[in-house]
Amino acid sequence: MRYFTHNEITLNNASDYRTITGYIGPANLNVLLLRLRQSFGFAGSVLQLIRSYISDRSQFVRFAECCSATTARKYGVPQGSVLGPLLFSLYTAPIAVVIKSFNVMHSQYADDTQLYLSLNWVNALSAMDDCFKAVHR
């Protein structure tokens, strides 16, 4: 446990990064595939499978015995899928590097990220603001 002096402050910012990344469209899909190849070593048919999984889908809603009409979707990840959260985590992995460059502690779980900063109170707000703006770029 760390004890703080009277001139220190601890800030916490919790963010849901679905609001940053938005929907998976052509630009985000290309970023995801590039990141999977360059940062995580995915290649060839695995990338093709992921592209196929995310693009040119169809969907419908089932409630009890009733089903809606099928609708074509250009891009998307099925809600409740096992692969969706994993792909999202890989897509947002660079956020950790940006946050660390500001010497800010953080934790990430699924689509939530928390930033923690303990500084002299005079510098704390501007440091957290600078870090938060860099993550949102």
Instruction: At 88, list the tokens.
Output: 């999202």
pLDDT interval class at 68 (50, 70, 90) = very high
Judge contact between 32 and 87, C-beta under 8 A.
Answer: yes
Of residues 5 and 49, more confidently modeled: 49
The pTM score is 0.64
Average pLDDT in the chain: 78
Judge contact between 57 and 40, C-beta under 8 A.
Answer: no
Tally of CA atoms within 13 A in the half-sphere of 44 that contains its CB: 1
Q: 117 pLDDT exceeds 80?
A: no
